[in-house]
Structures are given as C-alpha cells and as structure tokens.
Structure 1
Amino acid sequence: MNADFDTYRLSDEHEALREAVRALAEKEIAPFAAEVDEQARYPVEARDALVKAGFHAVHIPEEYGGEGADELAACIVIEEVARVCASSSLIPAVNGLGSIPILLSGSEELKQLVLSDIARGAGISYALSEREAGSDAASMRTRARRDGDDWILDGTKCWITNAGESTWYTVMAVTDPEKRANGISAFAVHRDDPGFEVGPKERKLGIAGSPTREIYFQGCRIPGDRIIGAEGTGFKTALRTLDHTRPTIGAQAVGIAQGALDVAIAYAKDRRQFGKAIAEFQGLQFMLADMAMKVEAARQLVYVAASRAERGEPNLGFISSAAKCMASDVAMSVTTDAVQVLGGAGYTRDFPVERMMRDAKITQIYEGTNQVQRMVMARALLK
C-alpha cells in the first residue's frame, strides 16, 4: 500500500476548506436554519458569516480581491453550507452563477467594477428566465436598445434568486430580434440604475429563506460599457456559464442529501422500538446503505464535473448535466427516505428532514429541469 498515492484524492487544501466551512456552518448557520425557513426570511447571519470568512464567493480571482479558489472548492463550500441550510447555500451558489458570465466574457474594466465589488461582499443575481421563456430561454422578450453611449432595457425577468438582496444583476436581453438566440446580449445591471425595480417575493415550497422575485426594467438606462462581451453573444455566454454552474447545483443537492442522511443515521441509532434501536433492523439498514451509496456516487460525479470545468475541457455539456441531474434526483430520493426513517417525527418541523425534502425539490427544476438535462445528455451522446 502506497500512502503517497494521491490519484483521485482531494488535496489537503480542499479537505481543510471543507473542515473550515463545516465548522462555520455548524456554528453560524445551522442554529438559524429552522427560523429562516419558518419565517421565510433572508439568512443575514449566514451572509455575514460567509462574507467575513471569505466564503461567499471563493471563485473570484485574487486580482479582483477574491480568494482565487477553483471550481471544486466552490462546490465544497456550497455542499457544506447546504448540508445545514439550503437557503444559505444559495448565497455562494448564486454569486457564482451571476458572476461567471462576467468572468467568461466581460471586459477587464467590467471585471474590475463588478467582481471587486462582489469580493468585498456585494451579491449578484442571474436573470435569464421569463414567464413565457423558461426552458425555451431563447424566446425571451426583454429588449435592450442603444441610446447614444448607453443601453436602455425594457422587460421583465422572473424566478430571480436573491433578487432584492443582490447589488448586481447579470441580465440577458434581446438586442436583435431577427437573429433569435444570436440576437441576445448580456448586461450587468446595478440595483441603483434608473428604471430598475424589484417585485414581491414568490411563496415557495422550499428554499424559503432565499427570496425569489420578478425584476422589472422600465426604460432602465445603463452605461454602454456594461455589456458583457460582444453584442449578440449573450446566449452563448449563458450556455457556457451553465456548463460551469450546473455542478454547483449538484453540490447543493449533495449537501442537502448528506444533511438528511446524517439526521437519519443519528435518529436510527437513538430511536428504540421492540426493545432495540431501529438501526439494528436490517430493513432500515438497507435503506441507510442505499441512501449513503447514492450520496457518495452523486458527490463523485459532481466533483469530476467541477474538475473538468475548472480545466476548461471541451464538451462539458454531458458531464455538467449528468452531475446536476443525478445529484438532484438523489437529493429528492434521499430526503424522502430520511423522512420515512424518522416516521411521524420526520413529518414534523421538530426535525429538519421535512425542510430538506422541500428544499431538495427545486434542485430538480432550476438551472434547467432534469428533463432538459436528459435532453442535453442525449444530444451529446447522439452528436
């Protein structure tokens, strides 16, 4: 046995990061998770703790004041926060989603402006979807037109995570309707830009602590240099972004599932029926084994996808979609089984597994439904 054989093993730095984030999550985030869900309030305690520790956006490069961590590290942060509070994990997750288009395609001046602000603690959201343009995002109706040196945006975006809390918004808008997907451009909008407004919060099944709102552009004027990349390249940037961010949703799903599994194991050891702990019953042992097996398989797929994205490998579509799809299906399965392990107690809010089950569902829907993920995978296979 060669102890120095480190192929396919997380680095010491990644393991140390996990320990640090888990300690912070247990101390600063977990105690407020139930209250955040019950009151459907933004997890300010989590935000403050993550910003103070530099974990709110670890992927921001050092030249913009960030930590300069890789995409696998970003997934580990999200996973460990999601293990105790899915709503809070959307702080680092959405900071990644909103900023990666700028990292991929933005000018140096725009990177300095926006990414440096995020590194200092500002949040950024991502605005692609519309009511009539969800999975069919290329059918969006939000428009952007030139007016002198500026751009004027008009339209509505929906399902915007952390809207109202974020300082910046990465917005996709049509600049040339005749070109369909090739006529979509990306822009960085600041919450103080004239003509920008935020709508009321959606009432949701899960992730209640992360506000989801519509955002409105009514003659919203932004400087001309806030376009992200060249005109007409916004949709391509959006698709490239998803190759990098779908594994982060997989990481969130893995974290939720791991949290539910941890609760189920502890409960099974403590709960006694028929004169012994229910963990001694083989039927329940098989449930726990299957749950853990699924979580570990999903985790490894997420880590592989994140690592390939970090290296900038070509043809990321399949692996990124597979990681997000499998992990979110696992999260739904494992949290449902965790509720079953706890029985009647699992169905109450006295234990966190019912919250985790509700939170898990969205991971099968956002950043592309799992039906869309399977379409992406199939196309890659048949290409």
Structure 2
Amino acid sequence: MQDPLAPGTLQRALIDGLLTQTKEYALVALDAGGRVVAWCGAAETLLGHAAGEAIGRHVGELLFTPEDRAKGFHDHELEVARRDSRSEDDRWHLRKDGTRIWVTGSVDAIRDAQGQLIGFVKVMRDRSDLHTWTKGLEAERDRLQAAHQRTLQFLRTLGHEMRNPMAPLQNSAFILEKLHSDEKTRRVVDIIQSQVGALRRLAEDLMEVSRLEGGKVGLQLEPADLREVALGSVTALQPQARIKGVALECILPAGRLPVRIDADRFQQVLLNLVGNAIKYTPAGGSIWLKPTQEGDDVLLRVEDTGIGIDPQELPRIFDLFSREQAAQDIDPSGLGIGLAVVREVMQLHGGSVQARSAGRDKGSEFTVRLPLDPGEPQPPAQLPLP
C-alpha cells in the first residue's frame, strides 16, 4: 500500500496535477503588465498555442478579438482585477488558427506579502456550446414574440370584422319582430338576438385581450370598497344564477376593504369569474364570493361546487385559448379568452389571480389579490389601553 504523502507534499502534487492534467480549464499566469509568463492546464488544447509560442506575448495581442482590443477590453479586464482583486468576463477569444471560442472565466490579481501587485492568473473555459444554445433560445424567444404579436393583430382585426355585420343582423331581427308577432317568429327573433349578443361579446373579448396584451390599455384608478364591488357583481348576476338553479351568495366582513381600481376593468374580472362559476356549476350547486384582507393585501375569493379543474391544467388555465376539457364539453363554443383577460387586468392593477381545485367534480376557487389602498387611514390593530 502506498504511503500517504505529507500534507505539504500532497498540496504541491495536487496543484501540479491541476496545472498539467485538467482538460477543461486553461490556466494562464501574467506579469503585472499583462504578458504571459506561464501557459498551463488545457491552454494549448483550448487555444492552440504551445507554451513556447504564448509566453512573453501580451494577453490582448494573443487572445482578444480585434473589436474587443479596439474597445480596450483587454486592458479593462486587468484594470478591474487590479482595483477589485477579481474580474469576471464572458467573451469571444481567438485561437491560433483564427477561429473563435466563447470563453467564460476570471482574472485574479496576485499580490506579494507587502500587498504589491506581482501579476495575474487568468482562468478560462470553452463554453461555445453554451453560447450557441443560449443564442438559439434567444432566437426562438424572438420568433415566438413576433408570432404572438401577429396573433394579437389577427385577434384585433377579427374582432373589428366580426362587429361589422352585427348591426344589420340586429336591425333585421328588430324589423322581423315588428312585421310578425306570432309565437314562431318571436322564438326566431329571440334566437337571432341571443346569438348576436354572443357574437358581440366574443368580438369585444377578442379586441380587449389584444389591447391588454399589447399594453394599450390605461387604467383610471379610483378608491373603492371591495365589499361593495363584490356585492354589485352578485346583484348583477343573480338573475343568471337563478335561471341556472345555483345559489349565489356574498359573505362580507364588517370592516371596509379599501382598494384603488378601475371600476369598469375590474368589473370585467368579476363578471368573468362569477359568470364562469355559474356556467360550470350544475343546478343545485353553490357559489360564494368572499372578500377579506391578508396583511397589506385585499383578496376576493370566488368559490364554487362546480365541475372543478384537472390539476394538470391549472398552470395553463390563464393562458390565451387554454380550455379545460370538461369546460369544452359544457360550452364547445368558448375560445378560452375570458381568463386571459382576467390575468392581464389584474396585472395592470398591480395584483394577481390564482386558481385552485382538488380535481374533477370537486369545485374550484379563484382568488384575486390587490394591494390595500395606502391612501385610506386604517383603524388600529387593537384598542389603546385606558
């Protein structure tokens, strides 16, 4: 069995092994002026120069690209290390044959016992593969962003085009209703008006989501009590809930819940969330709106006993055109726009929206979160002692 080396001998052996055996890291020692005095590790493999060709040459002339030399980056790298003891850079370097490699690494300033600078150690690693991969991701990101902008433009155009035939259809239904008063005609007119209304809402949603995601919507923020806003939504949608046969209830706390909202935009959020709860809750089910406060946030939870959401779909539930299969079965005509509008409106308000569900047929919970209005004085956490 080989005798263990003394600590000092082992340390030197390990350092010598690193300098001569590493296949990934180029280790280059420089004097205080930036000239190569040692060419170790994988320096020859990575950069192509033998030690005899590299020693004595300035690191800028040896490794840096012409454009980086023109900008003074070879001197800047050493100056940063001189002042701050260490410099880290990712940049192109030149090999002996003129090809370029993407190098990640660092330069450390080395000082003697009196603190005087005696040189630098530059450590480099070839990460051209990582650079290529990153650039590929950036190109894919740019492509997706361009495709997304084209989609928004298409939605905006489609929304406009859908609105054009609605007025003639609405007028035709009105004329038909006036010319014929029999029951069959009335049913036909009701169907036409209902479908025109559905098309109008769809067109408005298409245009709205394109404006929101395109950043073309400004908010008119005003103080409001979230309790009153929630109660107003319940009042507006109560007839729809009765027709469906579901119980719709608002459970209000005693104290005010001050927020700053754009009333019209926030109404969109609640109409979407509560409207969906009514649509996807079977007759005999229940829906609750529960405003509350948590720390510096004001919350409104919309809970139902409806069809629930597949947990695998929850991460995508607010994406544009995303629809859970059970929801498609109930309403095949939906496009998955409403929840995307909700997310964008909440982000504009500086808030957020979250969805939770235990799974199919186990109901769902949507929580909108807004910052507490700091402009309204708050009651003390507890009464002062007498």
Which bracket does the TM-score occupy, shorter chain normalised? under 0.3
Q: Which has the higher strand share?
A: 2
- The structure that has the greater radius of gyration is 2
Q: Which has the higher helix share?
A: 1
The two structures have a TM-score, normalised by structure 1, of 0.21
